[in-house]
Amino acid sequence: METKVNLDNQSFFGKGVEFWLGMIVKFDKQKSQTAGMGWGWRYKVRIIGDYSNLDSIEDQEVHTAVALIPTTGGTGGAGKKATIKLTQGDIVFGAFLSPNNNFPVILGALGRTKESSDKAKKAKESNDNSKLAPLSGFTDEQQAGLTQDQEHTGQDQIVTPRIREATEKGNGKSKAVPTEKLSDVNGGNDPNENAVDAAYQPKLTDAKRGKDLWDMEVGESALDSNQRDEIIADMNREANINNTREVLDFKAPADDKEVLQAQRTFARKYDEKVKQQYSNVGSDADFDDAMNASQEELDEALELF
- Hey, what domains does the chain have and what are their CATH numbers? 4-76+83-125 (2.40.50), 200-303 (no CATH)
Q: Give, for 18, the enclosing helix (H) or strand (E).
A: strand 14-24
pLDDT band per the 50, 70, 90 thresholds, residue 67: very high
- pLDDT over 60 (residue 52): yes
Task: Say if strands 102-110 and 91-98 run parallel, antiparallel, or are unpaired.
Answer: antiparallel
CA–CA gap between residue 104 and residue 106 (Å, rounded) = 7
CA–CA gap between residue 152 and residue 111 (Å, rounded) = 7
Closest CA to 256 of 290, 289, 297, 211: 211
CA–CA gap between residue 75 and residue 22 (Å, rounded) = 24
SS3 215: helix
Pick the most confident of 12-21, 177-186, 198-207.
Answer: 12-21
Q: Which residues pair with 95 in a beta bridge?
A: 19, 105
Mean of per-residue pLDDT scores for the chain: 76
Q: Which residues pair with 43 in a beta bridge?
A: 65
- Residue 35 is classified by DSSP as I
At 294 the pLDDT is 55
Report how far apart, in Å, the C-alpha atoms of 18 and of each of 14, 25, 64, 152, 291 are: 10, 21, 16, 28, 93
- What is the reported pTM? 0.46
Query: Do residues 58 and 77 make contact, with C-beta atoms less than 8 angstroms apart?
Result: no
Query: Which of 86-100, 128-142, 257-271 has the weakest average pLDDT?
Result: 128-142
pLDDT band per the 50, 70, 90 thresholds, residue 65: very high
pLDDT band per the 50, 70, 90 thresholds, residue 281: low
Count of alpha carbons within 13 angstroms of residue 207, beta-carbon side: 15
DSSP 159-185: PPP---TTS--S-SSSS---HHHHTT-
Q: Give, for 4, the enclosing helix (H) or strand (E).
A: strand 4-11
- pLDDT over 50 (residue 92): yes
Query: Do residues 62 and 55 make contact, with C-beta atoms less than 8 angstroms apart?
Result: no
pLDDT band per the 50, 70, 90 thresholds, residue 206: confident
Q: What is the mean pLDDT of residues 291-305?
A: 54
Query: Which of 83-97, 125-139, 215-229, 239-253 has the weakest average pLDDT?
Result: 125-139
Task: Say if strands 14-24 and 42-47 run parallel, antiparallel, or are unpaired.
Answer: antiparallel
- pLDDT over 90 (residue 216): no
The dihedral formed by the CA atoms of 109, 111, 116 and 117, expressed in degrees to the nearest 10: 110
Question: To the nearest whole percent, how much of the chain has pLDDT over 90?
Answer: 13
Say how many C-beta atoms besides its own lie within 10 A of residue 249's C-beta.
11
CA–CA gap between residue 231 and residue 226 (Å, rounded) = 9
Query: Do residues 65 and 19 make contact, with C-beta atoms less than 8 angstroms apart?
Result: no
